[in-house]
Amino acid sequence: MFLRQNAIGWVSGDKLTAPQINGIDVNLSRALDGNAGGTYAPSAQVVIGGAGLKTTVAEIAGTASITGVVTATGAITASDLTMSGTNRVKLASRSITRVVDCASWSFTAGEWVTGTNGMGVSDASVGPHQLMMPLHIPHGATLTKVGMLVDCPGHGGSWPPAVAPTFGVWRSSLADGAASAIVAAATTDSLAVQATYEAIRWFETGTLSEVIDRTTARYTARYTSEGSTNAQSGTKVLAVRVIYTIAAYDED
């Protein structure tokens, strides 16, 4: 760090000595050139405190060691990133949507069969038939909504079915297998408009707020097809969609 050539400061009439002017000359030659730039090799670390340092472009050709917090408001591109610590990589809380194919099972064999061209499953006879589908959601995430992509059969003039389909989300204990509904009651499908009911669409729960704990439980979506008078077979369940919010980057 540069030292002042006159420690007590300059006043009118002071004489500038050869050592002083040589000291100023040396210090100037060691200063950073903020206009033309240059290459420098400090003999000790350059420490910047106070309000810090701001630059529009920065390039690190060697090794950088950061012991504090780094805040980046733009994009960071890295060809390779290695985390040597054991802490998690934390990202801002955000909503995630995942859609998976129907890998599922039912309570009774034969009630559901593989759909056309292997797409989803279809109920083989008039229901109601219940279908259970596992949900794979990261531990610690907050589940906000679950939906199933359904294609209900045509009914012609035999409308509406006496028992409408329902859909719910359940939590099963790993300790004893006991299951409980995440919401008090399953969502009942709307029979208000026949054309809407018979179109391919997402049948979803309302808004949920379930913090996922994969250390103590597993989670399933349960769909029950239409039944009783005017009910038809052939309801197709094609996919399940989960929407959740995560506070850290966890994949499990």
Query: pLDDT for 77-115, tens place per residue?
Result: 777 777 777 666 666 777 777 666 555 555 566 788 887
Flag whether 33 is in a domain. no
Dist CA 172 CA 137 (whole Å): 14
What is the tally of structural domains in the chain? 1
State which amino acid sits at residue 32: L
112, β-bridge pairs: 123
Flag whether 160 is in a domain. yes
CA atoms within 13 A on the CB side of 183: 21
Flag whether 88 is in a domain. no
User: Is 219:135 a contact under the CB 8 Å cutoff?
Assistant: yes
More confidently predicted of 102 and 3: 3
Flag whether 54 is in a domain. no
Q: What is the CATH classification number for the domain harbouring 126?
A: 2.60.120.260
Flag whether 28 is in a domain. no
The pLDDT, as a whole number, for residue 47 is: 86
> Given a cut of 80, is residue 150 above it in pLDDT?
yes
* Residues 117-139: tens digit of each pLDDT: 777 888 889 989 998 888 888 88
Flag whether 81 is in a domain. no
Flag whether 98 is in a domain. yes
The pLDDT, as a whole number, for residue 243 is: 92
149, β-bridge pairs: 202, 239
134 three-state secondary structure: strand
244, β-bridge pairs: 96, 143
State which amino acid sits at residue 242: V
Token pair for residue 225?
A: 């097809």
Domain that holds residue 128: 94-246
Flag whether 198 is in a domain. yes
194 three-state secondary structure: helix
User: Is 169:220 a contact under the CB 8 Å cutoff?
Assistant: yes
Strands 121-123 and 142-151, by their bridges, are unpaired
State which amino acid sits at residue 10: W
Dist CA 210 CA 120 (whole Å): 26
- Mean pLDDT (the chain) is 84
**pLDDT > 90 in the chain, percent:** 32
